[in-house]
Amino acid sequence: MKPSYMPLFEAFSLKSGIQLKNRIVMAPMTNFSSNEDGTVSDAEIEYYARRSGGVGLVITACIYVSPNGKGFPGEFAGDSDEMIPSLRRLAAAIKEKGAKAVLQIFHGGRECPPGLVPNGDVVSASAVASEQNNKGVVPRALSEAEIESIIRDFGATTRRAIEAGFDGIEIHGANGYLVQQFFSPHSNRREDRFGGNIDNRLRFPLAVVDEVKRVAAEHAKEPFLIGYRFSPEEATLPGITMEDTFRLIDELAQKDLDYLHVSLQEFWSVPRRGADESKTRLEWIQERVGHLVPVIGVGAVRTPDDALKALETGIPLVAIGRELIIEPDWVEKIAEGREAEIKMTISKDDQDRLVVPTPLWQTIMRVPGWFPIGD
């Protein structure tokens, strides 16, 4: 290994006591490939196992905590104890390769396609349609009793993750899904204790954190990590600004979480609103709370030099997404001094070699510009 890449391979200890063998994380990526009954498919097990040998931490695709929270076709389920044996297979496949295994838990809220939820009953904080995916689908505003029930569902799925042998969970509070919908002034127009001013809009996200922590304290017999993923801004007006996000992360930093995971398309992107462009979003976040809670950065990190540059901002952990699909041996090749052999494109004939489930592969091939396609 080149000496300059040594920082990528330093171990890192989280507050829970879990130690990561290096600073590279596999980012959570939807793969559309679970079985019809919500169990993890053999193809998914093989896909994760193929990518779990080098990274220190694997964060799975999101898993829905409530029957009305399914956001994608082929998404695996966490809403019943019947799913635990399936989840146990996934956790074991990741851990056997040497990575820590984290289950990302979520509720899709207004982003759920009506055909994937019982009776087509799409729900959210308020009856406001999404502007990003489910355009034209006006969700039903949840009652306070339903809100409390979904908070308990996040806890119940955390218990299942513990029983399945995962090393932790990540609360998916990003990308416009239900946790974010309660925080956002675009999707949350409520006038009760769960909406209105920012204190009330924070109530649901923080209640989910508290419930997950309570369940972990009660059920985990070994160190169990809890992370939280968030999107720092929304393009919509009204929408989340960097100023709003500063308030969110100030609150989260007091919760003794193992990490905050920033969801970004581009690591070096700068703020739209609520902070000036003198720093990137990640630099603002790291400066604000990085001394209190570890921050995971992500976004178009493709080469080892990209990852090194990311660490030089002060963040301790870097997540890699698409590049680990293109090059499952990304970490190993750097460790072995073979970084020149890292592949940067895929071809239409690479599916079997890369061990990618067919639904995900078909999506990659169908969406122009998502992945760099070569010969």
Read off the tokens for 192.
């009760």
Residue carrying the six token digits 């019943």: 80
By annotation, the residues acting in catalysis are: 177
Handedness of CA 259, 263, 268, 269 (dihedral sign): negative
List Cα–Cα distances, 329 to 316, 333, 344, in angstroms.
21, 6, 12
Handedness of CA 329, 332, 334, 339 (dihedral sign): negative
| 230/154 Cα distance (integer angstroms) | 16
Strands 12-13 and 19-20, by their bridges, are antiparallel
Q: Tell me the three state secondary structure of residue 192.
A: coil
| 15/274 Cα distance (integer angstroms) | 30
List all residues 6 or more positions away from 375 whose beta carbon is below 8 Å from its beta carbon: 347
List all residues 6 or more positions away from 328 whose beta carbon is below 8 Å from its beta carbon: 50, 51, 354, 355
